[in-house]
Structure 1
Amino acid sequence: MSSLFFSGHIRLTVFLVTLLFLILHSSSQSDQRQLLLKFKSALSNSKTEVFNAWNKETPLCNFTGIVCNFNKEVKEINLSQQKLSGTLAFDSLCAIKSLEKLSLGANMLSGTISNQLSNCTSLQYLDLGMNFFTGVVPDLSRLSQLKFLSLNLSGFTGRFPWESLRNLTRLSFLSLGDNPFDKTPFPLEILNLQYLSSLYLTNCTIEGRIPEAIGNLSLLESLQLSDNYLVGEIPVGVTKLINLQMLELYNNQLTGTLPVGLSNLVNLAEFDVSTNLLFGDLSELRGLSRLESLQLFENGFSGTIPEEFGEFKYLKQFSIYTNKFTGELPAKIGSWAEFEYIDVSTNYLTGSIPPDMCKMGKMEKLLMLQNNFTGGLPENYASCTSLNRLRVSNNSLSGRVPDGIWSLPNLGMIDLEMNQFEGQVGRNIGEAKSLAQLFLANNRFSGELPVEISNVSSLVEIRLTSNLFSGEIPVTIGSLKKLSKLLLQDNKFSGAIPESLGSCVSLNEINLAGNLFSGQIPERLGSLVSLNSLNISDNKLSGVIPASLSSLKLTLIDLSNNMLFGRVPQPLLLVAYDGSFAGNPGLCADGSKDLRECSPVSHKSGQVKLAMYCFIAVAVVLMFSLSYLLFVKLSKIDRKIPMNRGGSWDVKQFHVLKFSEDEIVRSLTPENIIGKGGSGNVYKVDLKCGEELAVKHMWKSEPDSGSWRSSRSSAAILPKERTRWPEYEAEVTALSSLRHMNVVKLYCCISSEDSNLLVYEYMPNGSLWDRLHTDKKISIDWSVRYEIAMGAAMGLEYLHHGCERPVLHRDVKSKNILLDEEMKPKLADFGLAKIVQSGKVMDSTHIIAGTHGYIAPEYGYTYKVTEKSDIYSFGVVLMELVTGKKPVEPEFGESKDIVYWVHNEMRSKDDMISLVDPSISKDAKEDAVKMLSIAIHCTMKLPALRPSMRMVVKMLEEIKPFSLTDIVIEKGGENEDSPCKN
């Protein structure tokens, strides 16, 4: 009986324990669900579908990105690359005691990381890398179970808690790079992490020497210490790391030779010590036969390239440019694996170009400029369809270029300059659909430029200087709409300069000097609104100088040594230098010290002209009388119409207005000009009602009188054939549909057959450029600078994300950020804007756009502009606001800009505050440094690493000055107050 009782008691106990476990388990699951939903709510702004399954009905372990353990408790959260944005609720995450893995890398998370992270004591895997956090990394010492820690490129600043690593002895993967931490010597705490297999400390402000004891980390497979301030020699201890597959030490200040014993690293596949101060030969690399990528560029290495490199069967990337290497390249180099590129430029190499580097059909770049190579281009490369850059300039190469080279489908650049190549450009060049740059200068090329070159619509630059080319320029050259530079000087070209050249709408430089061109200067060259340099000297051109050239905004003009005659248009004298018109005995000018005075007209001729002038005057009076009568009649018929559409004007209004086009036109006089740009004059118009407007006249040539007062119709002002106005159309298309408080308001456009006016709201404080950099400069306190940055950012955010069809501005700069009477910013000048067409991916546009100093680096090699290009330009504006400096200053160095200067100074100085404009108050300098960090993100070299404008706005919100915390900055809508509104 007792045994039965005892047995029943046991069963009851088991039942109760099981029931209790199920209750607790159910409770635990319920608690974890609530914690995850709280985590989700903090990221409510994220535009992602990953949270669709995160609800009260879906089983917890079926949540997207969630992995449970055998107890059906949350073990892993895997949400990397899910477009998450917002701040992290670590109080809820770390309350999940079963959580071992948290992977949130490559999102758009922001804000600071709280000390509550230290409560995640069960974590073994933590990835917060590639986000946009601010502030410092909290103490990590309690996370003693961590094996994987990735915080790279996350925006953290300040001092990293290196002492925390003493407790993280289980770490096998540590990635902290690409964060602007405070400068520190190599952290010795790293040397105790005996299980490390991967260490990434690139670009996190480490200085001093690499310790010899680095060799004790015997399990290391990847060691990356690049882009820091390391000095001294590469320690011999590195040679003990026999498991290394990747060793990257580039962009430091390391000196000496490669350490003896480096040949021990037989598993090394990637070796990069570029941009240091290393010297000596490469004998220690002879045995590293598993190398796939070898980067030694920008050092002082010398000697010959080891013959063994020609037997490296895995080598795909080889870059040794800017060293002192001599001798020949191994003939078999690059012939074994799927070789991708070689760059041996700027050395003293001799011999022939190795013939088989494209043997596997994967080679993309052949860069061998500035050496002493001889022979010709190997025929094998004529079939290398993967090739996109071919640069062998400044060598002693000769012979004919293999025919197939001209038509390679992916080749974007052909650079054969400064050699002894001969022969003709192949007619098959018309098949080169990707060719953007054709550089053949200083060779012995001859024959005609093939007409098929007009089919290469991707061409941006043609440079054929100093060859033996002859014949005429193809009349179809006008089809090259992207062509920005045409340099054909010092050849034997002849015939007329084709009129169609005026259709190359992107041209900014033409040099046809030193040829045999004849005939007249084409009138249509005056339609090239982007042209700023024109040199057609030393030819046989005749006739008068076209008046249309007066409309060009030239910085250089040279028409010397031709057979031109007649009067030089007065506007051209203003941009000419001494000798611009020399050698043309028939030319004259009024008031020029270099040209003879134009002869007075004869008495008879004067009488004829006087009669003609009288006739014209009578005709004008009659025309005005008729126009006035018509105007009065129409006014009586319809006095209630706000915009009278008499005459030949066409008015398109985008807001309710109460002023006539007459009131606008009558105000366009020289004394009302407040600005001049590449697309036209800007006038200030004071309305009768007391309001003010700004009016842009989109010009093609200057009116003789400088005024529009004399005619309601401008048909006599501009040539009728020039009726297409791409900038005008772009600006009207872009602005007419935009409604945002931080985008300048376009009230209406007024156009005739030949003239266009854009009527905007007037911005009394001019541009941000004026207030920062000119004689109109004023002292701007930090709160105003912040509001300018935030307002401009919200305007760009609206363009990129708030419009039905996103708008790329493509010319973001401080000159195009206008300031109202309260210093509130508005984006302006949409002459280069591109509205992304419905149904098309918002990726890029090939049209050349932008301003020097603001143009993103990818434009230099892709000729594409994307929304990330706008973001780069905005980052430059932020740097202007913080530093007070212009985008390009002599102090930055030759060919350097503010982005280079800021990035470089931040790496080389302990205190970023030294970069801040001295006029900013001391108590605001820390906030200014935070904005500079945002600017760094915006100007990252790789577009993919730049935040979206939506993210930029969030980042700026997080650094709002305390003095503005009670000020509400609106994020949308439009100020509906219009001048003279009904």
Structure 2
Amino acid sequence: MNKLTGSIPPQLGKLQKVTSLLLWGNALTGSIPAEISNCSSLVVLDASANDLSGKIPSDIGKLGVLEQLHLSDNSLIGLIPWEISNCSSLTTLQLDKNKLSGAIPWQIGNLKQLQSFFLWGNSVSGTIPSSFGNCTELYSIDLSRNKLTGSIPEEIFSLKKLSKLLLLGNSLSGKLPRSVSNCQSLVRLRLGENRLSGQIPKEIGQLQNLVFLDLYMNHFTGSLPSEIANITVLELLDVHNNHINGEIPSQLGELVNLEQLDLSRNSFTGEIPLSFGNFSYLNKLILNSNLLTGSIPKSFQNLQKLTLLDLSYNRLSGEIPSEIGYITSLTISLDLSSNMFTGEIPESMSGLRQLQSLDLSHNMLHGRIKVLGSLTSLTFLNISFNNFSGPIPVTPFFRTLSYNSYLQNLNLCESVDGSTCSSSLMQKTRLRSAKTVALVSVILASVTIAVLASWYLVTRNHRYMMEKSAGASSSSPGAEDFSYPWTFIPFQRLNFTIDNILDCLKDENVIGKGCSGIVYKAEMPNGELIAVKKLWRTKDDEEPTVDSFAAEIQILGHIRHRNIVKLLGYCSNKSVKLLLYNYIPNGNLQQLLRGNRNLSWEVRYKIAVGSAQGLAYLHHDCKPAILHRDVKCNNILLDSKFEAYLADFGLAKLMNSPNYHHAMSRVAGSYGYIAPEYGYTMNITEKSDVYSYGVVLLEILSGRSAVESQVGDGVHIVEWVKKKMGSFEPAASILDAKLRGMPDQLVQEMLQTLGIAMFCVNSSPAERPTMKEVVALLMEVKTQPEEWGKTSQPLIKQSSNQS
């Protein structure tokens, strides 16, 4: 993986003894030269992840000893040449993510050694060749996201080694044959988004190794076979959007390893089985849009890993059981809308402190809604079309809600104190948009406090920076005392001296300035590039003791993590402190986001995860724990492979350092990234870093700056996102325009990440996740391309007018 450009030289064909030609992950263009076929000893040809165009040359079929052909993720067009079948030693054929068309050549069945065949993400049409049944070594077939028609040939299910069969997103029709049970090695059977019909064969229950079963968005009819319960290792069962009827088999409760169950948008009748309480590993249960009756089973209390529960659009009745409030793992969504629930909201629901989205609309619930004020992580709420009464909570979240969240609750009223109704509103139509004097004064007071706090922070930070600048108005060594003696403390073997470093501290080598110091790019005599940070001088009364500072540097110098810039060493004399870091060549995240590049979701996600892992290491794996205190896009550096590195520990402090509380009293962080509690407590914790990281995550997703400077839109990104989410616009409108129009699964991943970001920027520090939890949540978001179609619900509630 490099940055090679241009075309593949035909002269490579003269390398008749080369066995591996690895060109993947570059920016190569043009067509694949037919001369490659002259490399008669070639065993591996990998030109994937480039921008190659044109047709696959038929001459590739002359490579008699070729075992692996990787051409995925290019812009290749035309037919798959049947001549590839002459490569009789071929074990791996990967042509996915191109623009190939036409039919799959039946001659592929002649590849008796073929083990994996990936063709997903093309425009291939026609039927699936039955000759695949001759490829007896096949263990993985992925033909997803094409235009294939016809039925699934029974011959495929005779393949004894086949473990993955992925045919998502085609136009396949006919029945799923009973012979599917012959393919005992199947681990993943993913047939969603096709036109398959008939009953789901009960023989599917004989697939004892099946982990994923996707049959969603087809035309299956009849009942769901109870024999599925025999697949004891099943982790995902998704049959949503079919025409399945009858009762949900209670035997499904025996699937104790199930993690996701989606039976939505069918015609299931009867009650939800009590046995569903056995799903101790279940994290998503989606039963919406059926004809289910009865009450919510109290056994749901046992679902202690459940993050999303959707029972909407059924005929469920009775009271909401108090046991729902004990499912404290519910973080993504609880949707009980459009049923016939009665009674009051149980007090136990105050325990759902991490819940992001709650929909109780279109039921017959009554009573007060005070308990909802305890749900401090909410980003979406709809309780409209019920019979609720009494005052609306006066929490910050409820102040952002529009009238649409409360429609047709005629006895609800606005309140100043959260306990009593405002008399002026009681005389008018309830919950109209008229503003009371009391409410206006509260808002004005809040704005005034915020403005004063911001003015105080910015003014003091400005004064602090001016003092630094005054002491270091020139970046040249001559303006300061660079005289000996110098102390040089390396944290690994270094092949340069202090004089080599000082020679590089010139204006032309400056690559950055920040609130903690000025950074130089320094080339050592041996050609090694390092970054040298010269810390701003502090006033004498702020100077920590040398021993204390050196002790902190010693600990920072021994941090070793793939997502943290390595501190190579430390130099100091009586007035100058220099920190030596690895030089990271690809700039920072802010430059990347502002560079008007078509930055893919995969790259953005990689950066988000990497920076989160680095921060989690500082908080949870360093003893004592370390605060960064200035997490922002400028301080996330990127290498040529877009690996993220946390940088700038000029403000970082050990949490048990003697100077920790002294350091906390100075301005911590950068404008736009500072956690709100700092304005009134002047104290920060690791949760302040989490808030700053949440702002970075919002920037990655939206492409906006933390504070936009455009006229008329100069609002903080957190407030902008909250406003968007409360405006009933589609949640996807928050995303960077360059990310829209992507496959639904990827958009859902982005929206789920958006929910995590909002979790991080919760106004209450106690309700924010730890960075270790953030990493875990991010890792759950991403699915591999072959996993597209796996049930995944966004954290952010979509607008109701979107299908």
TM-score bin, normalised by smaller chain = 0.5 to 0.7
Tell me, yes or no, if structure 1 residue 283 matches structure 2 residue 129: yes
Q: Give distance in 1, aligned partners of 2:170 and 2:319.
A: 43
Q: Give distance in 2, aligned partners of 1:246 and 1:778.
A: 38
Tell me, yes or no, if structure 1 residue 513 matches structure 2 residue 285: no
Equivalent in 359, 362, 370 of residue 209 of structure 2: 362
Q: Deviations over 1:416-450 (max 9, x none)?
A: 11101122222232321221111111101111111
Tell me, yes or no, if structure 1 residue 673 matches structure 2 residue 450: yes
Q: Deviations over 1:334-364 (max 9, x none)?
A: 5333211111111111012233445352211
The equivalences for 1:38-57 within 5 A come to none
Alignment check: 8 A CA contact 2:630 2:669 kept: no
Give the structure 1 partner of residue 617 of structure 2.
800
Query: Aligned AA for 1:308?
Result: E
Give the structure 2 partner of residue 497 of structure 1.
345
CA, structure 1 residues 219+850, in 2 after alignment: closer, same or farther (shift >3 Å)?
same
Alignment check: 8 A CA contact 1:206 1:229 kept: yes
Give the structure 2 partner of residue 237 of structure 1.
83
Alignment check: 8 A CA contact 2:165 2:188 kept: yes
Q: Report the more deviating stretch, 155-164 or 225-234.
A: 155-164
CA, structure 1 residues 392+566, in 2 after alignment: closer, same or farther (shift >3 Å)?
closer
Q: Give distance in 2, aligned partners of 1:480 and 1:164.
A: 65
CA, structure 1 residues 592+891, in 2 after alignment: closer, same or farther (shift >3 Å)?
farther
Deviation at 1:823, TM superposition (A): 14
| Aligned-partner SS, 1:303 | coil
CA, structure 1 residues 778+378, in 2 after alignment: closer, same or farther (shift >3 Å)?
closer
Query: Aligned AA for 1:232?
Result: G
Alignment check: 8 A CA contact 1:307 1:330 kept: yes
Alignment check: 8 A CA contact 2:34 2:60 kept: no
Q: Give distance in 2, aligned partners of 1:895 and 1:284.
A: 33
Tell me, yes or no, if structure 1 residue 446 matches structure 2 residue 265: no
Alignment check: 8 A CA contact 2:392 2:415 kept: yes
Q: Deviations over 1:362-416 (max 9, x none)?
A: 2111111111001222222213222111110110011122223245232221111
Equivalent in 232, 251, 255 of residue 404 of structure 1: 251
CA, structure 1 residues 554+454, in 2 after alignment: closer, same or farther (shift >3 Å)?
farther
Tell me, yes or no, if structure 1 residue 544 matches structure 2 residue 391: yes
Give the structure 2 partner of residue 480 of structure 1.
327
Once superposed, what is the RMSD of the aligned Cα atoms?
A: 5.1
Deviation at 1:295, TM superposition (A): 1.3
Alignment check: 8 A CA contact 1:273 1:295 kept: yes
The equivalences for 1:234-633 within 5 A come to 234-283=80-129, 285=131, 287-290=133-136, 291-357=138-204, 359-406=206-253, 408-483=255-330, 484-521=332-369, 523-548=370-395, 553-554=400-401, 558-568=405-415, 588=426, 594=432
Q: Give distance in 1, aligned partners of 2:337 and 2:314.
A: 9
Q: What is the count of residue pairs matched by the alignment?
A: 546
Query: Aligned AA for 1:515?
Result: N
Deviation at 1:690, TM superposition (A): 10
Deviation at 1:210, TM superposition (A): 0.8
| Aligned-partner SS, 1:430 | helix
TM-score by length of 2: 0.58
CA, structure 1 residues 569+890, in 2 after alignment: closer, same or farther (shift >3 Å)?
farther
Q: Give distance in 2, aligned partners of 1:231 and 1:172.
A: 26
Q: Give distance in 2, aligned partners of 1:338 and 1:848.
A: 43
CA, structure 1 residues 551+413, in 2 after alignment: closer, same or farther (shift >3 Å)?
same
Q: Give distance in 2, aligned partners of 1:798 and 1:342.
A: 38
Q: Give distance in 2, aligned partners of 1:795 and 1:533.
A: 25
Give the structure 2 partner of residue 145 of structure 1.
none
Query: Aligned AA for 1:528?
Result: L
Query: Aligned AA for 1:267?
Result: Q
Q: Deviations over 1:182-214 (max 9, x none)?
A: 323214442122122332222133221111111
Q: Give distance in 2, aligned partners of 1:809 and 1:318.
A: 46
Q: Give distance in 2, aligned partners of 1:458 and 1:402.
A: 22
Q: Give distance in 1, aligned partners of 2:91 and 2:460.
A: 77
CA, structure 1 residues 304+570, in 2 after alignment: closer, same or farther (shift >3 Å)?
farther
Alignment check: 8 A CA contact 2:7 2:31 kept: no
Deviation at 1:164, TM superposition (A): 6.9
Deviation at 1:230, TM superposition (A): 0.8
Higher relative contact order (CA 8 A, sep 6+): 2
| Aligned-partner SS, 2:292 | strand
Equivalent in 32, 37, 40 of residue 191 of structure 1: 37
Deviation at 1:497, TM superposition (A): 0.5
Give the structure 1 partner of residue 49 of structure 2.
203
Alignment check: 8 A CA contact 2:413 2:426 kept: yes
Q: Give distance in 2, aligned partners of 1:392 and 1:515.
A: 27
The equivalences for 1:64-143 within 5 A come to none
Give the structure 1 partner of residue 753 of structure 2.
none
Deviation at 1:180, TM superposition (A): 2.0
Alignment check: 8 A CA contact 1:341 1:363 kept: yes
Q: Give distance in 2, aligned partners of 1:586 and 1:175.
A: 75
Q: Give distance in 2, aligned partners of 1:467 and 1:208.
A: 52
Q: Give distance in 2, aligned partners of 1:446 and 1:809.
A: 53
Q: Give distance in 2, aligned partners of 1:404 and 1:669.
A: 56
The equivalences for 1:727-738 within 5 A come to none
Deviation at 1:466, TM superposition (A): 0.9
Query: Aligned AA for 1:245?
Result: T
Query: Aligned AA for 2:168?
Result: Y
Alignment check: 8 A CA contact 2:313 2:337 kept: yes
Deviation at 1:462, TM superposition (A): 1.0
Query: Aligned AA for 1:560?
Result: L
| Aligned-partner SS, 1:478 | helix
Q: Give distance in 2, aligned partners of 1:689 and 1:249.
A: 55
CA, structure 1 residues 417+439, in 2 after alignment: closer, same or farther (shift >3 Å)?
same
Q: Which runs of 5+ in 1 are unaligned?
A: 1-153, 572-580, 601-667, 676-680, 694-736, 742-767, 780-789, 837-846, 857-885, 901-937, 944-982
Give the structure 2 partner of residue 220 of structure 1.
66
Q: Deviations over 1:875-929 (max 9, x none)?
A: xxxxxxxxxxx993234424689x99xxxxxxxxxxxxxxxxxxxxxxxxxxxxx
| Aligned-partner SS, 2:316 | strand
Deviation at 1:568, TM superposition (A): 5.0
Give the structure 2 partner of residue 978 of structure 1.
none
Q: Give distance in 1, aligned partners of 2:378 and 2:156.
A: 49
Query: Aligned AA for 1:800?
Result: Y
Alignment check: 8 A CA contact 2:193 2:217 kept: yes
Q: Give distance in 1, aligned partners of 2:626 and 2:436.
A: 51
Query: Aligned AA for 1:390?
Result: L
Alignment check: 8 A CA contact 1:231 1:252 kept: yes
Alignment check: 8 A CA contact 1:509 1:532 kept: yes
Q: Deviations over 1:858-890 (max 9, x none)?
A: xxxxxxxxxxxxxxxxxxxxxxxxxxxx99323
Deviation at 1:235, TM superposition (A): 1.1
Give the structure 2 partner of residue 684 of structure 1.
456
CA, structure 1 residues 687+230, in 2 after alignment: closer, same or farther (shift >3 Å)?
closer
CA, structure 1 residues 799+313, in 2 after alignment: closer, same or farther (shift >3 Å)?
closer
Deviation at 1:545, TM superposition (A): 2.5
Deviation at 1:588, TM superposition (A): 3.8
Q: Which runs of 5+ in 2 are unaligned?
A: 439-444, 466-551, 558-587, 597-606, 637-647, 652-665, 679-683, 688-692, 703-732, 748-778, 785-803
Deviation at 1:268, TM superposition (A): 2.6
Q: Deviations over 1:259-287 (max 9, x none)?
A: 24333223333222111111111235354
| Aligned-partner SS, 2:150 | strand
